[in-house]
Structure 1
Amino acid sequence: MADFFDYLNWRGDISFDKVAFNKIDALLLAHLSYSIFDGVVPSTFTERKTFAQVAKDFAATTDYEERINIGFLINKRTAELMFKTAESERYRNVELCGFRSIYNEENVEQFAAVTFIIDGKNVIALRGTDDTIVGWKEDFNIAWIPQIPAQKDALEYFSEAEKALSGNFILTGHSKGGNLVINTAVNCGEKAQKRIDNVYNFDGPGFAADFFDTEEYKAVEERIYSFYPGFSVVGMIFHHPKNFEIVKSEGFAFWQHDAMSWQIMGSNFVNEAEFTDESRLFYSAFNEWIDKLKVSQKKEFVQTMFGILEASGCKTNNEIEKEALKATAKMLAYYAELDRTKRNDMKKILSMFKDVIADDIPIFKPLVLLKNNLRITGGGSII
């Protein structure tokens, strides 16, 4: 089995002139957008740094240890991968610019982007869902908000980049970043669409079913490439494009979402023939259920689920993991105060997520708590 590190061993000494930018490069840069580039990569599109210089400056930051610890759900070898990429012949002279990062709890907004200039082509990588509870809540807000803040941020970022930079664009994103790049390509306007060569969505949450029927979507549909691991959870939330590739991952269950677990052969992925039964059943059950809800009901579902998480007092998955006992007690207390209707709604949600939730992932704690409680009480409530 081979991963990004093997890819850089195979292709790292080969220039983009000899082996063109491909889907593996797209996933690599999408993943590296999780790097904490604040104050390292220029925020404007006029000032640029080579990848080699970015790595050097990153290593010299006073808060280096904090930067490389980017959360429970982001692979701990991400910084190591960033350095290896920057050292390679293929990437060392690639220029980086336009790094932006927004985090706003009140707006439920989490967004970051960085642009890579590769042989005159602009590759925009939009960060996916990070370790914050806010980031995950924003994902689920797609269910009821016509345009989540990160989608607006992405459109504004691309509009600015499109005006500032010459040449065409490639858009790439993992997790929520996958949703953002598709939404940006579809809604950026006819003139800007013509400058987009390819759009890469890696296990991103989807859209309402009618999103794919619009003329704006059809205008870029053939340039959108979507990829999901065999055991996909995030990519099964809401409807996904009809054309996609299923990628073999060495991760277990939900952890297949980790791009660093995806298997590579040359400039291609190792493929799976189909999704796992758990993913297919979850996709069908969840989307059939949520499609029938009114907007107000969708909003209440999100607020109830994340109200339990927020009751923990933690801001990130990492904090929930570190403060497991205290966080669990607070979430149980919050759940105990819910009215019967909301508790029943949580049971419905559990019935759909039961085969895909992972006990070791903090974001699923509300459902894990409910599952364990129902097991103990024989299906009753804790009140």
Structure 2
Amino acid sequence: MGNIVTYLQDEQRTFFESPFCAVDSLVCSVICYFDFDHGAVAVAPSGRETLLHDIVALSDWKKLCSGSWLEDAKETEDFMRALMASRRYRSMTAAFYANEFSNVVEKQFSALTLFLGQGDAYIAFRGTDGSFAGWKEDFNLCFKHVIPSQRSAEAYLSGVASATECPLIVGGHSKGGNLAEYAALVAPARAYERIKAVYNHDGPSFLDDPSPRIEDASFAAKLNKTVPESSAFGMILERRTGYRVVRSSALSVFQHNPFSWEVECGDFACQEALNKSAVLFDAALDEWLRSKNTEERERFIDTIYDLFVSTDANSWAEFQSQILANTKKIVGKSGELDPDTRRFVLATIASLGGILKRETLKRFRPSPRTWLPFRKERYNTSADTQDPS
């Protein structure tokens, strides 16, 4: 079974010859993870376009992939070679690069506009990088109605729409998918009308609906949400149906890696339902979130974040480079928490474990009185769905 790398190698038709599809969107979402600030060929924040081929061919790949999951993925070099050699992507250009970061307001935002060469533009929003601030902003979605990156995504889409006249496609992977949805939902009417499609690749949903537009048939027709079979990230806060479930060559949370998503015949290889383990975890996480009020969620997330940043590491890579020493620091700092906060954190973690245990018993030891299809309107599960994990 192939993936987006083999798709790049095999699909050599231009966008004139074969229309843009969901697999192309995931490819563009991966491109958005490039560190264009340190590439040999700069991408302008203005509308001056640069050939994507030149960016890849003339850049130091290690620097171009630094700071993201790409620097550790074994498929990255093959992806770069295939992208550089692709007839399909040869005419693609990049412009309007934005990169904003702030530990103070817990914000990590980056976006790029890719002109496909046949008249359309793809607005790509970057997912979470390796920084603690980036991950903290993701978790803030559990208690904040709007996060700083969503505001930036709204402004970015509006700005690109004002500076261009072409049809727009919007998308991203992980948090980038959430930003793409948010930006489209709150976009001015004229910009929204120009959006042909919105792609959310395993990105979380929303605490509250950002706009009544989310219920419109027009938005449902534009939205393409894809999640891997054991999705943990893309199903967070998700209450809607209509997403596609993509088979993955990885297990558990590692399915979040786009290189693990299986591709066949120019499209994602899909199955009818999420794996049972994913449904179980998502149900437990949803119940846990509902059982805590906004203040409790914020307090728990802030406390855990403070423990990690107390190690002086700024990213997961830095943390893992001295994992034993940093783990000892966290354990030591947790002992310094005031008794009330320590009890609160331990009780919060225990409550999630208790919910997971109850959900497991419910699903695997059902009784006639309690066995009901869990949130049937949301999950299209089937008895014969196999869970490889």
TM-score of Structure 1 vs Structure 2, range by shorter chain: 0.7 to 0.9
Secondary structure of 1:113's counterpart equals strand
Contact 2:35 2:63 in 1 (8 A): no
Residue 361 of structure 1: aligned partner: none
CA distance in 2: counterparts of 1:205 and 1:351, whole angstroms: 24
Contact 1:226 1:244 in 2 (8 A): yes
Matched, 1:7 2:30: no
1:41 Cα deviation after fit: 4.1
Residue 238 of structure 2: aligned partner: 239
CA distance in 2: counterparts of 1:336 and 1:353, whole angstroms: 26
Contact 2:284 2:356 in 1 (8 A): no
Letter of the aligned partner of 1:225 in structure 2?
A: N
Unaligned stretches of 5+ residues in structure 1: 355-383
1:195 Cα deviation after fit: 0.8
CA distance in 2: counterparts of 1:299 and 1:337, whole angstroms: 20
| Length-normalised TM-score, structure 2 | 0.84
Residue 132 of structure 1: aligned partner: 131
Residue 387 of structure 2: aligned partner: none
Contact 1:32 1:78 in 2 (8 A): no
Residue 205 of structure 2: aligned partner: 206
| Aligned ranges 1:357-368 → 2 under 5 Å | none
Residue 349 of structure 2: aligned partner: 346
Residue 379 of structure 1: aligned partner: none
Residue 49 of structure 2: aligned partner: 48
CA distance in 2: counterparts of 1:146 and 1:200, whole angstroms: 21
CA distance in 2: counterparts of 1:52 and 1:16, whole angstroms: 16
Secondary structure of 2:166's counterpart equals coil
Unaligned stretches of 5+ residues in structure 2: 358-389
Matched, 1:284 2:283: yes
Letter of the aligned partner of 2:113 in structure 1?
A: T
Per-residue CA deviations over 1:174-197 (Å, capped at 9, x if unaligned) read: 000011011111111222210110
Judged with a 3 Å threshold, the aligned counterparts in structure 2 of structure 1 residues 152 and 217 are, in CA distance, closer, same or farther, namely farther
Letter of the aligned partner of 1:231 in structure 2?
A: S
Q: 1:100 aligns with which of 98, 101, 106?
A: 98
CA distance in 2: counterparts of 1:215 and 1:95, whole angstroms: 31
Judged with a 3 Å threshold, the aligned counterparts in structure 2 of structure 1 residues 75 and 186 are, in CA distance, closer, same or farther, namely same
| Percent sequence identity over aligned pairs | 26
CA distance in 1: counterparts of 2:104 and 2:75, whole angstroms: 31
| Aligned ranges 1:1-383 → 2 under 5 Å | 1-11=1-11, 13-38=12-37, 40-59=41-60, 65-71=62-68, 75-78=73-76, 80-118=78-116, 119-208=118-207, 210-211=208-209, 214-218=212-216, 219-338=218-337, 339-351=342-354
Once structures 1 and 2 are overlaid, which stretch shifts more, 98-107 or 71-80?
Answer: 71-80
Secondary structure of 1:236's counterpart equals coil
Letter of the aligned partner of 2:241 in structure 1?
A: K
CA distance in 2: counterparts of 1:336 and 1:348, whole angstroms: 20
CA distance in 2: counterparts of 1:308 and 1:294, whole angstroms: 22
Paired residues, what number? 349
Contact 1:248 1:272 in 2 (8 A): yes
Judged with a 3 Å threshold, the aligned counterparts in structure 2 of structure 1 residues 89 and 352 are, in CA distance, closer, same or farther, namely farther
> Structure 1: which 4+ aligned runs deviate by more than 6 Å?
none
Contact 1:205 1:240 in 2 (8 A): no
Secondary structure of 2:161's counterpart equals helix
Contact 2:141 2:147 in 1 (8 A): yes
| Length-normalised TM-score, structure 1 | 0.85
* Structural RMSD (CA): 2.2
CA distance in 1: counterparts of 2:307 and 2:355, whole angstroms: 18
Contact 2:185 2:210 in 1 (8 A): no
